[in-house]
Structure 1
Amino acid sequence: MLDYPALAAIAAVIREGSFERAADTLGITPSAVSQRVRGYEERLGTILIVRGQPCAPTDLGRTLCAHFDRVQLLEADLTPALAPKGEGAGPPLTLKVAVNADSLATWFPQAAATFAQGTGMLLDLMLEDEAHTADRLRSGEVQAAVTADPEPVQGCKTILLGALRYAACASPDFMARHFSEGVNADTLAKAPHMRFDRRDALQARWAQEAYGVELRAPTHWVPSTQGFLDLCLAGLAWGLQPVALARSHMDSGRLVELPPALRIEVRLYWNVARLYAASLRALTDAVRRAASERLHA
């Protein structure tokens, strides 16, 4: 049988990063947290938490935490029926979701707000590139993810949400300085561009599809959706912007779309654990509704 008080301590340490903060969230002493964790590790004969700043789970520790999170979601459905009349249901549960930065800056807030207002639950959002959010789901770190990977995750349901559309943009000043002779293979090789991180291939994809060239120009690294837009407006470099964020700037002339005005679409999927938990159904409904209103079919 699993020791759920010990699992609660392990999950709290991993979530909070330290035994002291875990103790605060559980309402017990750090010594009690340590005893529960150490006792369970001795019982299983293996380490579950790598002590450090912050503490991190081993593979088995992560698996046990994922199980504990799933059990909590299922038990939450029983709380109204089992709690004595008039007794509070306790602190709200937290649902862990992996989402890419551009979705978080565009359409996902509507889904998050609808879910939180309807259920009273909290969200723990983990930012990750859309091509890798599914990895968070496979590892058990989250119960759902917005991903660009159509491959099904074992034990999960995959739902097509729609496409997030991007436009290659630059400021008028940047266009005058770097593309005065037009946008072509030669000028693209010299004009600085931006990338979100080392896994961001959108700019390279646009250059390949628009001009058939491999993009090797100077690169600014900007790991922020809002920073990507602000620095483009300031004339730092050109880059692919979510049309939903850039449209007003393009309409006003503060941003210019690079010819041939080729739009790039990233198809997004919702991967969610196949649990019969009301919270996951509610979040899925909210995500599908927001996506239908804000993403391209």
Structure 2
Amino acid sequence: MNPAHLDTLLSIIDEGSFENASLALSISPSAVSQRIKALEKSVGRVLVSRTQPAVATEAGEVLVQAARKMALLQAETREQLAERLDEIPLTIAINADSLSTWFPPVFAQVATWGGATLRLRLEDEAHTLSLLRRGDVLGAVTREGESVAGCEVVGLGSMRHLPVGTPALRDRYLVDGRLDWEQMPVLRFGPKDVLQDRDLEGRVDGPRARRRTSIVPSAEGFGEAVRLGLGWGLLPEAQAAPMLATGEVVQLDDQVVDTPLYWQRWRLESRMLARLTDAVVDAARAGLRV
């Protein structure tokens, strides 16, 4: 199997199209197309769905994972041979709440590693493993403690979410001293927001009425929407603490949500992946509940 063909496949998936891959590889679009056709002919399978963006087929995902491993090992070999290291793309799947709270110290660590670069894929922590299984990323912050085949897992700690809203919102939906959870407007991060989808468990019995739901797909924007009274939501403890201290929001009840988080990475003899794992674990231990 031609390594140049594998590298071309990986570039198409990372860059999103044949045209962008040609720019990244400094070859013509026709050369990109010819390489992929040759690779598909050699394995007897269609490897890339010609969509926008381009995505790997099931067979292509297997080769993408192999190509990413080869690219990482080749880059590290060049570094060990004291050759010029342009960049090592360390691809990570992470949820928005982690990225906006405890994860940023990892940036400071990676910044000291010469030519290393990070490529982050934002996904709900309940869904990050799908990117790891497909070979799209080298590691993932996830709520799943059972390791994916070919990966190893490290416990990071627990992220606590608090049910918060503005005092005015709380008072508006108090009925005989109890909150009307079904009528009070609520916030969602997005359609895969598993955490928020369970927010009525233990608060409402029986059938649940359809609620006024606003979707804000940004961790910072979500916090601002809560602070300004658009609805109530489950905020990470670190994000909610300053607003609770100033009285801009209040904790609506004592029912908090603790979510164990894990770091899963490819089981690969890689110094860079080991350093990345150490940086992620250190940041988590400082920013999450043990």
Query: Normalized against structure 1, the TM-score is what?
Result: 0.91
- The corresponding residue for 2:288 is 295
Give the 3-state SS of the residue equivalent to 1:64 in structure 2: helix
State the 1:263 CA deviation: 2.1
Q: CA deviation at 1:159?
A: 0.8
Call closer, same or farther: CA 1:244–1:46 in 2, change over 3 Å. Answer: same
Number of equivalences: 289
What residue is the counterpart of 1:60 in the other structure? 59
* Structure 1 residues 190 and 220, CA gap change in structure 2 (3 angstroms): same
Specify whether residues 49 and 203 from structure 1 end up closer, same or farther in structure 2 by C-alpha distance, changes over 3 A only: closer
Return the letter of the residue paired with 1:13.
I
2:212 to 203, 209, 218: 218
Residue in 2 aligned with 1:120? 115
1:286 maps to 279
Give yes or no for contact 1:188–1:215 (8 Å, CA) kept in 2.
no
Partner of 1:234: 228
Q: Indicate the larger mover: 225-234 or 51-60.
A: 51-60
Q: Which has the higher helix share?
A: 1
> What is the Cα-based RMSD across aligned positions, in Å?
1.9
Q: Distance in 1 between matches of 2:194 and 2:84?
A: 49
Task: Give the corresponding residue for 2:23.
Answer: 24
Distance in 2 (CA, whole Å) between partners of 1:133 and 1:264 is 19
Change (3 A) 1:209 1:236: same
SS in 2 for 1:244: helix
d(CA) in 2 for partners of 1:5 and 1:201? 40
Q: Does 1:148 align with 2:147?
A: no
Moved over 4 A (4+): 210-216
Tell me whether 1:257 sits opposite 2:251 in the alignment.
yes
Structure 1 unaligned spans of 5+:
none
Distance in 1 of aligned mates of 2:216 and 2:207: 20
Report the counterpart of residue 71 of structure 1 in structure 2. 70
Q: Deviations over 1:188-220 (max 9, x none)?
A: 111111122233243454432456677543322
Is the CA contact (8 Å cut-off) linking 2:190 and 2:217 kept in structure 1? yes
Q: Please say if residues 207 and 214 of structure 1, whose CA atoms lie closer than 8 Å, have aligned partners that are also in contact.
A: no
Q: Which residue of 2 aligns with 1:82?
A: 81
Unaligned runs of 5+ in 2: none
Amino acid at match of 2:190: D
> How many angstroms apart in 1 are the aligned matches of 2:263 and 2:289?
15
- The aligned counterpart of 2:130 is 135
* CA distance in 1 between partners of 2:207 and 2:196 (Å): 10
Instruction: Give the 5 Å matches for 1:147-166.
Output: 147-166=142-161
1:180, distance to aligned residue in structure 2 (A): 5.9
Q: Does 1:108 align with 2:103?
A: yes
Deviation at 1:72, TM superposition (A): 1.6
SS of 1:141's partner is: coil
Does residue 179 of the first structure (1) align with residue 174 of the second (2)? Answer: yes
Which has the larger displacement, 194-203 or 138-147? 194-203
1:98 aligns to what? 93
Q: Match for residue 43 of structure 1? A: 42
Asked if residue 169 in structure 1 is aligned to residue 164 in structure 2, the reply is: yes
1:208-257 deviations in whole A, cap 9, x for unaligned?
Answer: 24566775433222222112111111111111011101111110011111
Distance 1:206 1:31, change over 3 A: closer
